[in-house]
Structure 1
Amino acid sequence: MNAQDVIRQTAGTSMMVVNAYLSDLDDSELCSRPGPGCNPIAWQLGHLISSECRLLDSICPGSAATLPDGFDEQHSKDNANKDQPGDFCSKQEYLDLFTRVHAASMAALEQLSEADLDAPAPEHMREMFPTVGAMFVLIATHPMMHVGQWVPARRALGKPVVI
């Protein structure tokens, strides 16, 4: 197993957990907040999608999927206080976008050599993620930083344990 295999496996695990936790939620339930002051699940999904595109373009310019007009603004920090179904996309739209964004990231990864993964990350990210490979690890694990927040929302909605 090489570095690309490990990153690909990690990203696949993250997406499996995302899909499991979203599997039985409807569009209105995506507006649930895990707790006071937490961002709604729908906003977090948009943040994950937008972030992955920005991160990928910072290390592989032009490789990220194109998002719908206004998507980044819809999921900006200024809109994290919104929590009505009309404020966000449908679950299917998020799933479709996330699939496309993830596929673009994995396609970009396939084009890189092991040596490419050792190249320095963008300057503003180097303190925490020093290399292109470390940036791909961030892309692969960022969803896991958020899905744990969805469990309290799932419990409050009376949803079963899925993992």
Structure 2
Amino acid sequence: MDVQDLLLDGFGRVPPAVHAVLDGCDEQVLTARPAPGANTIAWLLWHLARVQDDHVSEVAGTEQAWTADGWARRFALPLADDETGYGFSPEQVGLVRASAQLLGGYVDAVHERTARYLRTLTGADLDRVVDDSYDPPVTLGVRLVSVLDDDLEHVGQAAYLAGLLRRR
């Protein structure tokens, strides 16, 4: 297995997991909180896609799907276009409201762009430093694994939350 196959397999696990969470979720479930101030399914899924879109487009040198493909306009959230959800307050989390169809569509669009970029990589590319503000500097390989890890953590959180909410 080469680096492309490995990364494509890893990132390819995210959209099916997202769609499994979204299956049967209405906006009430997507925006419910199990406790005051907790994250919602809508925010978790939007955030994982926004971070992937932001981080992968940055290393790929492309515009984000969020703006280039009109997703920001379709979501029509009362947030700046460059927001990814990082560091959001509970009030800001509550601003993220969207249908399952819209969330799933955005996740799929981001995945398509990510997969297109991953197909261009070689193993040597992963050693390229993409952020030297850290010690040690962050390489492309570390950045991609970090994004994938974040995606899988958040989709797991969303799946757990959906399970709780569906039992209520």
Q: Normalised by the size of structure 2, how large is the TM-score?
A: 0.77
Take 1:109 and 1:34, find their aligned partners in 2: how far apart are those partners?
36
Letter in 2 for 1:143: D
Deviates more, 1:39-48 or 1:137-146: 137-146
Does the 8 Å contact 1:49/1:97 carry over to 2?
A: yes
Distance of aligned partners of 1:35 and 1:68 in 2 relative to their CA distance in 1, 3 Å threshold: same
- Structure 1: which 5+ runs fail to align? none
Q: 1:103-137 CA deviation, whole Å, 9 max, x = no partner?
A: 1011011112221122112224x558821122222
Q: 1:41-82 CA deviation, whole Å, 9 max, x = no partner?
A: 111222112111210122111153233245553864255342
Per the TM alignment, residue 35 of structure 1 is displaced from its structure 2 partner at its CA by 3.6
Letter in 2 for 1:13: R
* 1:123-134 mapped onto 2 (5 Å cutoff): 123-124=132-133, 126-127=134-135, 130-134=138-142
Does the 8 Å contact 1:58/1:122 carry over to 2?
A: no
| Matching of residue 135 in structure 1 with residue 135 in structure 2 | no
Q: Which residue of 2 aligns with 1:6?
A: 6
| Matching of residue 117 in structure 1 with residue 126 in structure 2 | yes
| Matching of residue 147 in structure 1 with residue 151 in structure 2 | no
Letter in 2 for 1:48: L
Does the 8 Å contact 1:48/1:142 carry over to 2?
A: yes
Q: 1:5-39 CA deviation, whole Å, 9 max, x = no partner?
A: 11111112232222212212122210022444321
Distance of aligned partners of 1:60 and 1:90 in 2 relative to their CA distance in 1, 3 Å threshold: same
Q: State the secondary structure of the residue aligned to 1:68.
A: helix
Q: Which residue of 2 aligns with 1:107?
A: 116
Q: Which residue of 2 aligns with 1:68?
A: 72
Displacement over 4 Å in runs of 4+: 126-129
- Structure 2: which 5+ runs fail to align? none
Does the 8 Å contact 1:60/1:108 carry over to 2?
A: yes
Take 1:21 and 1:95, find their aligned partners in 2: how far apart are those partners?
10
Number of equivalent positions:
155
Identity of aligned residues (%): 25
Distance of aligned partners of 1:106 and 1:50 in 2 relative to their CA distance in 1, 3 Å threshold: same
Per the TM alignment, residue 141 of structure 1 is displaced from its structure 2 partner at its CA by 2.8
